[in-house]
Amino acid sequence: MQRRKTDLLVIGAGSGGLSVAAGAAQMGVRVILLEPGEMGGDCLNHGCVPSKALIASAQRAFRMSHASAFGVASVEPQVDYAAVQDHVAESIARIAPMDSQERFEGFGVEVIREAGRFLSPTEVQAGAHVITARRIVIATGSRPRIPPIPGLSDVPYLTNETLWQLRERPRHLLVIGGGPIGLEMAQAHRRLGCDVTVIEAGRALSREDPEMAAVVLEELRTEGVALHEEHAVEKVTQTADSIEVTAGGLRHSGSHLLVAVGRAPVLDALGLGKGKVDTTAAGITVDEGLRTSNRRVYAIGDVAGGPQFTHVAGYHAGLVVRNALFGLPVKVKPQILPRATYTSPEIAQVGLTEAEARHQYGDKVEIVRLPYQHNDRAIAQRQSAGLLKVMVVKGRPVGASIVGQQAGELIGLWALALSARLKMSDIAGMVVPYPTIGELNKRLAGTYFSPRLFENETVKKVTRAVQRWLP
Ligand SMILES: Cc1cc2nc3c(=O)[nH]c(=O)nc-3n(C[C@H](O)[C@H](O)[C@H](O)COP(=O)(O)OP(=O)(O)OC[C@H]3O[C@@H](n4cnc5c(N)ncnc54)[C@H](O)[C@@H]3O)c2cc1C
Ligand SMILES: NC(=O)c1ccc[n+]([C@@H]2O[C@H](COP(=O)([O-])OP(=O)(O)OC[C@H]3O[C@@H](n4cnc5c(N)ncnc54)[C@H](O)[C@@H]3O)[C@@H](O)[C@H]2O)c1
């Protein structure tokens, strides 16, 4: 065994671990990074990047078959599924150098391609190395949760880890789970010409405001995705040429099955008991500053049991670097963390939903609504289905929900508004280029002020009085 000492040991080279390692090493700290698998973790290799690349192919296909309204003949797209997967692989390959071992070694990080396992509260074993570190960051992410459905283990099923190796287009894709993974992949495959059936035990997109989620679900159904909500899966069986899922008294037959029912934290084999790091089923237990029960050890990203997004792992990393390197007090602010699901239309959220805001603020909250149909660019592009809702308390937004074209882009402004505590007047006062979808944000703030200005007798009296004094 080779004994090693370092300032910072990072376990896992995914979105969270890489961000911590890069930040710390570039500040001159000695960093060792452990990764037994592919550099870049889930987001690059099995998550965000491949899913968004597949969605991009699907959007192309959809536009080809829906062009006639624009005066361009619609055509039935010829989908070469293997070539679609080549595009997915190429997207990963183009981004991979950013997360590569060589790039991180260039920052001064020592990368060891071994799994880490605690031997004691201060020592971690990785292959032939025993590493002692002043601070340790666990960033081991999550993996697909496989539910205990009778028969599931006896059939060949896909997860987000294996979907990208598929070369033949599924004739009929069955999807268990109507969350972000299930619905992004369901719509993309439908647009690529597959029959698709989604079986959801509860409500699809259940984290989202139901009014906003309904817009997405209606579009999916219009495009031909068979979506069964409140249908608990009873069993899965295989016949000679198909897989059958029995749910809610119905039998769904398909050629391929995708399981997308949530994530499980990667905790096993880490020896967390020896490290005196406490866990629950959701993940590693952390305080507001991401410290675990072992004060020298932090947990970030998916393994920390909170919202599971790449930008959240990156945000955690920034906080940990500040605290571990400079001793600065840090605190996770859940209310500033946005999320977006990249269906068409997209659905995005930051801060409180309408229901949460009403629950927290009662009648002090004002709900400001603006449908997309008033946006000139959305009309010109025939993408005017959508809605913005912003929850406002005493002139400041406390939450924003958006469903529609580019919702994931539009939510960024409200994420800034919440993190910088901007007022609605700040949003109303900004000037945005015409004609853009982004005008919706400013127009919504205008909608907040309209009744105050234009339906207010005092304002009208004062304005009339001022006219008499003006030269
Ligand atoms: C299909 C899909 C689509 C997604 N799309 C989006 C999206 O569009 N936007 C978004 O924000 N998020 C998206 N996500 C979520 C996002 O991928 C995760 O939130 C993010 O990857 C979490 O980063 P992480 O660093 O916590 O974990 P990971 O990226 O999973 O990295 C963990 C790393 O730790 C390594 N590891 C595990 N055990 C050990 C050990 N014992 N020792 C050393 N290393 C170990 C693993 O090999 C892995 O490389 C998506 C996820 C999926 C599955
Ligand atoms: N655009 C994005 O940012 C994006 C995209 C994909 C994934 N992600 C991340 O990955 C996480 C995991 O996504 P996910 O969709 O797998 O999980 P999820 O937990 O968000 O949704 C899973 C769905 O499966 C349902 N379900 C659970 N067990 C079931 C069963 N036995 N039968 C039928 N339905 C069942 C649940 O009710 C739920 O609606 C997300 O929460 C998100 O954090 C993000």
pLDDT one-digit tens code per residue, 329-344: 999 999 999 999 999 9
Residue nearest to atom 8 of ligand 1 (CA): 48
Q: Where are the domains of the chain?
A: 2-39+100-144+264-332, 152-262, 336-454
Any residues with CB less than 8 A from the CB of 157 and at least 6 apart, and which?
236, 243, 257, 258, 259
Please tell me if the domain spanning 2-39+100-144+264-332 has the same topology as the one spanning 152-262: yes
Q: Is the CB of 177 under 6 A from ligand 2?
A: yes
Residue nearest to atom 30 of ligand 2 (CA): 201
1 band by pLDDT with thresholds 50, 70 and 90: confident
Query: Can you tell me the distance from the alpha carbon of 359 to that of 365, in angstroms, rounded to the nearest whole number?
Result: 10
Annotated binding site for FAD: 52, 116, 140-142, 302
Residues 418, 421, 425, 429, Cα dihedral to 10° = -80
Annotated binding site for NAD(+): 177-184, 200, 262
Closest ligand to residue 339's CA: 2
Q: What is the pLDDT of residue 454?
A: 76
Q: Is the CB of 9 under 6 A from ligand 1?
A: no
**d(CA 129, ligand 1 centre) in Å:** 25
Residue nearest to atom 44 of ligand 1 (CA): 12
451 band by pLDDT with thresholds 50, 70 and 90: confident
Q: How many CB atoms lie within 10 A of CB 468?
A: 6
Closest ligand to residue 216's CA: 2
ipTM for the whole complex: 0.98
Lowest mean pLDDT among 324-328, 349-353, 354-358, 398-402: 324-328
**d(CA 78, ligand 1 centre) in Å:** 33
Q: Is the CB of 349 under 6 A from ligand 2?
A: no
Q: What is the pLDDT of residue 348?
A: 99
Q: What is the pLDDT of residue 14?
A: 98
**d(CA 189, ligand 2 centre) in Å:** 17
Query: Can you tell me the distance from the alpha carbon of 374 to that of 14, in angstroms, rounded to the nearest whole number?
Result: 41
Q: Is the CB of 427 under 6 A from ligand 1?
A: no
Average pLDDT of the residues of the chain: 97
**d(CA 210, ligand 1 centre) in Å:** 28
Q: Is the CB of 263 under 6 A from ligand 2?
A: yes
466, pLDDT greater than 90:
no
Query: Can you tell me the distance from the alpha carbon of 297 to that of 120, in angstroms, rounded to the nearest whole number?
Result: 12
Q: What is the pLDDT of residue 456?
A: 78
445 band by pLDDT with thresholds 50, 70 and 90: very high
Q: What is the pLDDT of residue 359?
A: 98
Any residues with CB less than 8 A from the CB of 375 and at least 6 apart, and which?
384, 435, 437, 439, 440, 443
231, pLDDT greater than 90:
yes
Q: Is the CB of 342 under 6 A from ligand 2?
A: yes
Any residues with CB less than 8 A from the CB of 240 and at least 6 apart, and which?
none
Q: Does domain 2-39+100-144+264-332 have CATH number 3.50.50.60?
A: yes
450 band by pLDDT with thresholds 50, 70 and 90: confident
Closest ligand to residue 261's CA: 2
Question: Per-residue pLDDT averaged across 164-193, rounded?
Answer: 98
Distances in Å between the Cα of 343 and the Cα atoms of 121, 299, 352 are 44, 30, 21
pTM score: 0.97
463, pLDDT greater than 80:
no
Q: What is the pLDDT of residue 444?
A: 98
Question: Per-residue pLDDT averaged across 285-308, rounded?
Answer: 98
Question: Per-residue pLDDT averaged across 302-327, rounded?
Answer: 97
CATH fold of 152-262: FAD/NAD(P)-binding domain (3.50.50)
Q: What is the pLDDT of residue 247?
A: 97
CATH for 336-454, among 3.30.390.30, 3.30.1540.10, 2.60.40.1840, 3.40.930.10? 3.30.390.30
Q: Is the CB of 144 under 6 A from ligand 1?
A: no
Of the chain, the percentage scoring pLDDT greater than 70 comes to 100
163 band by pLDDT with thresholds 50, 70 and 90: very high
> What confidence tens digit (pLDDT) does each residue in 90-109 have?
999 999 999 999 999 999 99
